Amino acid sequence: MSLRINDEAPNFTADTTAGEITFHDWAGDSWVVLFSHPKDFTPVCTNELGYMAKLAGEFKKRNTKILGISVDPVDSHVKWKEDIKDVSGHEVEYPLIGDPELKIAKLYDMLPAEAGETCEGRTPMDNATVRSVIVIGPEKKVKLQLTYPMTTVRNFDEILR
């Protein structure tokens, strides 16, 4: 079954770069921008995560939390955060979810059920549909879903607006 606008955003518990979170508890009464990327250390996503780090204060002013996700494990995200800072000049302080078993990506319809059960051996092309932005309201309802092809850079200024 597909996730649709005004559906309750599925709750989950996940390991992140900020420790373990239970999504609904972590979100509290804030808006959330959950955005995904197909693989750590990809050039376009490196720039996008850096740009989101630059905009983090603007999202915070709007009672909005940022949450990134990739199918790579958290230890890879920790290394990638250093690269993102070197490339963009901005430190990623928002959590990045590690989803090496593809559970959250499937829960949020970012990957098809038949995608397998591990990130091992997957390429960015295998994960192409894991380039989504989902905006979730304070009542935990899905307000916006965008999925981008790998050839299109996401416009986070538009998401902020």
pLDDT over 70 for what percent of the chain? Answer: 87
Alpha-carbon gap, residue 117 to 137, rounded angstroms: 29
pLDDT in the model for residue 118? 60
Confidence check: pLDDT of 8 > 60: yes
Asked if 112 contacts 119 with a C-beta cutoff of 8 angstroms, the reply is no
The answer to whether residue 119 is catalytic is no
Alpha-carbon gap, residue 129 to 124, rounded angstroms: 9
What pTM did the predictor assign? Answer: 0.88
Pick the residue with more confidence: 5 or 147? 5
Alpha-carbon gap, residue 21 to 95, rounded angstroms: 9
Confidence check: pLDDT of 53 > 70: yes
**3-state SS class at 147:** strand
Confidence check: pLDDT of 1 > 60: no
Average pLDDT of span 46-62: 94
Catalytic residue among 27, 33, 45, 49: 45
Dump the DSSP string for 42-75: -HHHHHHHHHHHHHHHHHHHTTEEEEEEESS-HH
Separation of CA 18 from chain center? 14
Q: State the pLDDT confidence band at 37, using cuts at 50, 70 and 90.
A: confident
- Side-chain-side CA neighbours of 29 within 13 Å: the count stands at 0
Entry field: residues in the chain = 161
Residue 132 sits at the vertex; the CA angle it makes with 98 and 140, to the nearest 5 degrees, is 80
Average pLDDT of span 125-132: 64
CB neighbourhood size of 26 (10 A): 19
Beta-bridged to residue 65, according to DSSP, are 32
- Distance in Å from the first CA to the final CA of the chain: 30
Residue type, 110: M
pLDDT in the model for residue 102? 86
